[in-house]
Structure 1
Amino acid sequence: MDLGEILRILRNRWYIVVPMLALAVGLGLGTYVLVPNTYTTYTMVSLLAAPTTSKAAAVDTGQDNPFLNFNGSLVATADFLGRRLQSSDTVLQLKAAGITEEYTVALAENAQGPFLTITLTGGATKEHVLASANQLVKVADTTLTEIQKQNNVAEKDRITLIQVIPPQKPETESKEKLKLVIVAGGGTAALAFVLTFVVESIARARRRKRLGGEEVTTAAGAAAAGPDIEGTMVLQLPPKPKAAVAPVAPPQRPLPPKDEPIADAEKTQRLRLPSRPVGSPPQDNRKQPGQGAPQQRSGGAPRTGAATTYQSNGGDRRGQDAGRVNGS
């Protein structure tokens, strides 16, 4: 099936294609309008060493600054906190608290310290996404403190949490929305094409079946046809015999007329023999007017020098005497 036939089928079944395409466009627009937009934002927090640790480091360096003391133990603590925030119990508690957006907590890429990136996706409005991000930062700080309290860590030895990057302006996330639009509109359009070719296939099958039944009826050659729907009797007449054509005689060669025999050029040969040399007859032997035939010599040779002609016909070449002159 080539492109031309596909277009012809779509044109013939326009009463299926056009309504289905209109429905596909309507579903696509309706999905785009009804499905709410989703937004995404992120924030970053960091862990700081305990005051006692900073003071112990200040004895050696002379600087009591917690931002100068990012050791490996803080990175392990940050990873522990991120896994705790993504546990099932914490997710349920946050949903009960009003944080309905999906979020992920992970160590910052290419970071050499205890930095956690918190990403939120969803929300009906941008304001709600920003509020959920700030609330999630507070929950992370509270969770870190509770973990240390449960392990009887003194307050002076507790690790603290600080917000490095505040929640950024939410951006519209159109990827998921476009997926729904494509599924609604594109799926309906594909269904239209499939339905069109299914209907065309069924119609062709019925047409072939009907034509096959007509061929069987014609081959049977029923003499008495059944009544038509309107009551008309249809009679099938035998075909008319073809008129006999007289055979054409092959062309014959015309025969020559009987009174004028004509020698065949292919079978007749004429031979003309030269006359025999004879001497001049004496004057007294020449034919005189009123006298008979000239006398012959003792050897039987004629006195005159006339020529003799012989004729040979076809396969018989025995040299029959066609014409004699002077009695020879």
Structure 2
Amino acid sequence: MDFWKAITVLLRRWYVALPAMCLTFLAAYGVYATIPTRYSSTALMVLTMPTSGSYRPANPGDPNPLVNPLLNFDGGLNMTASIMVQILNGPEVAGRLGVRPDGATTYKVNNGHPNPELLISAPFVLIEGTSLSPQDARTIVARVAERAKVELKRRQQVLNAPPETFINLTEMVPPTEPQAERGGKTRPAAAVFALGVMAALGSAFAADSIMTGLRRGAEEAPPERAEAATAPGEKAGSRR
């Protein structure tokens, strides 16, 4: 019943609701058009141990058996992936790559889980770059991927790890074709549209309430005012 009452009010006060809805559409479209489109590209890298193993044998004549790197995962690779994520997300590496927090081109790195508590669960390094330009989004992903290899090698050299045991960072999925992110434009426009619809409905109901109140006030006017309005006519008739 309330629904049909609301429809009746809107139909009765269409001259208020219709302009308000038109303004709502224009405002939502204006917000959508003014927000620039951002593009994103991703790359997936995996940490693997060398085929000779993760340690150097004491007896060079008895080398380690060769193992497929993709079948040789352990907790150490997961921890290394976590360390690499923290390093690549740091301001020092971002500054070397020319990325500023307030710049048009940014990137973020994780291991497939945006939750920091799950950073040590997989030996992956997932890089996602965003920019106003499709080419810049893809370029920053490629640059971060190359920088990741440099940082991994440098950290292992600092720790004096044997070169033959160095962990490899292999690019499993190269930088993908940049895709437009519409969500950053759609959400604000939808919020403006929702607020505009509520404002249009509120204005229609407010106008109906005001008009109804004025009409009732006119109908319930005191009788004295009506007699005062007709008295001059009566006096003129009596003079005749």
* Same structural fold, with TM-score higher than 0.5 when normalized by the shorter chain: yes
Percent identical across equivalent pairs? Answer: 22
Deviation digits for residues 42-69 of structure 1 (CA, Å, limit 9, x no counterpart): 21112243687468478131x3875664
CA distance in 2, matches of 1:193, 1:114: 54
Aligned residue in 1 for 2:232? 233
Aligned residue in 2 for 1:267? none
Map 1:1-328 → 2, pairs under 5 A: 2-49=2-49, 53=53, 56=56, 59-61=63-65, 63=66, 69-87=72-90, 90=93, 95-96=99-100, 100-107=105-112, 114-120=123-129, 122-153=130-161, 155=163, 158-212=166-220, 214=221, 217-218=222-223, 225-226=227-228, 233=232
CA distance in 1, matches of 2:172, 2:218: 80
CA RMSD of aligned residues (A): 3.8
Size of the aligned set, in residue pairs, is 224
SS at match of 2:29: helix
With normalisation by structure 2, the TM-score equals 0.72
Q: Which has the larger radius of gyration?
A: 1
SS at match of 2:63: helix
Is the 1:104–1:118 contact (alpha carbons within 8 Å) kept by the matching residues of 2?
yes
CA distance in 2, matches of 1:99, 1:5: 50
Deviation digits for residues 264-288 of structure 1 (CA, Å, limit 9, x no counterpart): xxxxxxxxxxxxxxxxxxxxxxxxx
Aligned residue in 2 for 1:307? none
With normalisation by structure 1, the TM-score equals 0.55
Answer 1 or 2: which has greater helix percent: 2
Once the two structures are TM-superposed, the CA of residue 195 in structure 1 deviates from its matched residue by 0.9
Once the two structures are TM-superposed, the CA of residue 211 in structure 1 deviates from its matched residue by 3.5
Deviation digits for residues 114-160 of structure 1 (CA, Å, limit 9, x no counterpart): 2322233x322322211111111122223323433444546555434
Higher RCO (CA-CA < 8 Å; seq separation 6+): 2
CA distance in 1, matches of 2:185, 2:9: 34
Is the 1:51–1:156 contact (alpha carbons within 8 Å) kept by the matching residues of 2?
no
Provide structure 1 residue ranges, at least 5 long, that are not aligned to the other structure. 237-328
CA distance in 1, matches of 2:104, 2:4: 56
Answer 1 or 2: which has greater strand percent: 1
Once the two structures are TM-superposed, the CA of residue 22 in structure 1 deviates from its matched residue by 1.5
Provide structure 2 residue ranges, at least 5 long, that are not aligned to the other structure. 236-240
CA distance in 2, matches of 1:64, 1:11: 76
Is the 1:43–1:117 contact (alpha carbons within 8 Å) kept by the matching residues of 2?
yes
Once the two structures are TM-superposed, the CA of residue 235 in structure 1 deviates from its matched residue by 5.4
SS at match of 2:190: helix
Q: Which moved more, 1:17-26 or 1:169-178?
A: 169-178
Is the 1:103–1:119 contact (alpha carbons within 8 Å) kept by the matching residues of 2?
yes
Q: Which moved more, 1:130-139 or 1:169-178?
A: 169-178
